[in-house]
Chain A
Amino acid sequence: MRSERANSKTNDTEQELEELILVEKKTKSLVLVGNPNVGKSLIFNYLSGMYAEVSNFPGTTVSITSANYKDYQLYDTPGIYGVSSFNDEERVARDIILDGDVILNVVNALNLERDLFLTLQLIDMGKRVSVILNMMDEVKKKKLRIDTKKLSEILGVNIYETSAIKKIGFEKLDEAIKSAKVGRQDKPIQPAVGGLKEIYEVVKVKSHSLLILEGDKELTKQYLLNYHNDDLREEIYINRRNRVNEIVDLTESEDTKQGIFFSKLGRLCLNPVSGIPILILVLALIYFFVGDLISQRLVNYTENTIGKNYFEYWTKTFISKYTSVDITAKILNDNNEVIDQKTFHFPNGIDSDHIIYQSFKNFSVNRNNEKSFHFYHPIPSFFFGEFGVITMTLTYLIFLLLPLVIAFYFSLALLEDSGYLPRLAALVDKSFTKIGLNGRAIIPIILGFGCVTMATITTRILGTEREKSIATAILQFTIPCSAQLAVIAVLLSGAGLKAILIYSFVILLVMILTSTILNKIIPGQSSPLLLDLPPMRIPQLNNVFKKTYYRTIGFMKEATPWFFVGAAGIGLMQLTGILEIWHEVLKPFTVQLLQLPKEAATAFVMGMIRRDFGAAGLFELDLTAEQIVIALITITLFVPCIASFVIMLKERGWKQGLIVWSGTWIFAFLIGGLVSHIII
Chain B
Amino acid sequence: MQFTLDKATRGQSLTIDLLPSGVIKSQLIRFGIMEGEKVTCLDRLVGGTVILQKKRLEIALGCDLAKSIMVTDEK
Chain A positions within 8 Å of B, measured between CB atoms, are: 81-82, 84, 86, 110-111, 113-114, 117, 230, 233-234, 237-238, 241, 244-245, 258, 266-267, 270-272, 275, 422, 425-427, 429-431, 433, 438-439, 528-533, 535
Contact = CB atoms under 8 A, between A and B. Distances in A.
B63 A433 contact: yes
Given A237-B26, A258-B56, A429-B45, A528 B34 contact: no
Contacts of A238: 29, 34
Nearest to B48: A430
B51 interface: yes
Contacts of A82: 30
B23 to A, nearest CB: 6
A429 B42 contact: no
A234 B57 CA distance: 22
A230 B58 contact: no
B18 interface: no
Contacts of A267: 42-43
B16 to A, nearest CB: 12
Contacts of B63: 429-430, 433, 528
B67 to A, nearest CB: 9
A422 B61 CA distance: 12
Given A270-B51, A533-B51, A533-B58, A237 B30 contact: yes
B54 to A, nearest CB: 7
A629 to B, nearest CB: 33
A528 B60 CA distance: 10
A86 B27 contact: yes
20 contacts: A82-B30, A110-B56, A113-B55, A113-B57, A230-B22, A234-B25, A237-B30, A238-B34, A267-B42, A267-B43, A270-B43, A270-B45, A422-B60, A426-B45, A430-B48, A430-B63, A532-B31, A532-B57, A532-B60, A533-B59
A360 B65 CA distance: 74
A138 to B, nearest CB: 10
Contacts of A237: 26, 29-30
Contact of A528 (B25, B30, B31, B61): B61
A359 to B, nearest CB: 71
B7 to A, nearest CB: 15
A433 to B, nearest CB: 7
A430 B47 contact: yes
Contacts of B28: 530
In terms of DSSP, what is the predominant structure of the interface of chain B?
A: mixed
In terms of DSSP, what is the predominant structure of the interface of chain A?
A: helix
B13 interface: no
Interface residues of B, number: 33
A233 B63 CA distance: 26
Contacts of A270: 43, 45, 51
B45 A272 contact: yes
Contacts of A533: 51, 58-60
Contact of B54 (A113, A233, A426): A113
A439 B43 contact: no
Contacts of B21: 230
A279 to B, nearest CB: 13
Nearest to B23: A86
A211 to B, nearest CB: 13
B1 interface: no
A241 B32 contact: yes
Contacts of A110: 56
A118 to B, nearest CB: 8
Given A234-B25, A431-B47, 5 more contacts: A81-B30, A111-B56, A241-B30, A530-B24, A530-B28
A111 B57 contact: yes
Nearest to A110: B56
A371 B34 CA distance: 72
Task: Give the most central of B22, B26, B43, B54: most A CB within 10 Å.
Answer: B26
Contact of A234 (B29, B46, B51, B61): B29
B61 to A, nearest CB: 6
Contacts of B54: 113
Task: Give the most central of B25, B61, B62, B64: most A CB within 10 Å.
Answer: B62
Task: Give the most central of A230, A258, A270, A422: most B CB within 10 Å.
Answer: A270
Contacts of B46: 272, 430
Nearest to A431: B47
A426 B55 CA distance: 19
A529 B59 CA distance: 10
Contacts of A535: 56
Contacts of A84: 26
B15 to A, nearest CB: 15
A430 to B, nearest CB: 3
A439 B26 contact: no
B1 to A, nearest CB: 24
A271 B65 contact: no
Given A439-B62, A528-B62, A530-B62, A426 B51 contact: yes
A86 to B, nearest CB: 6
A425 B60 contact: yes
Given A270-B45, A426-B45, A529 B61 contact: yes
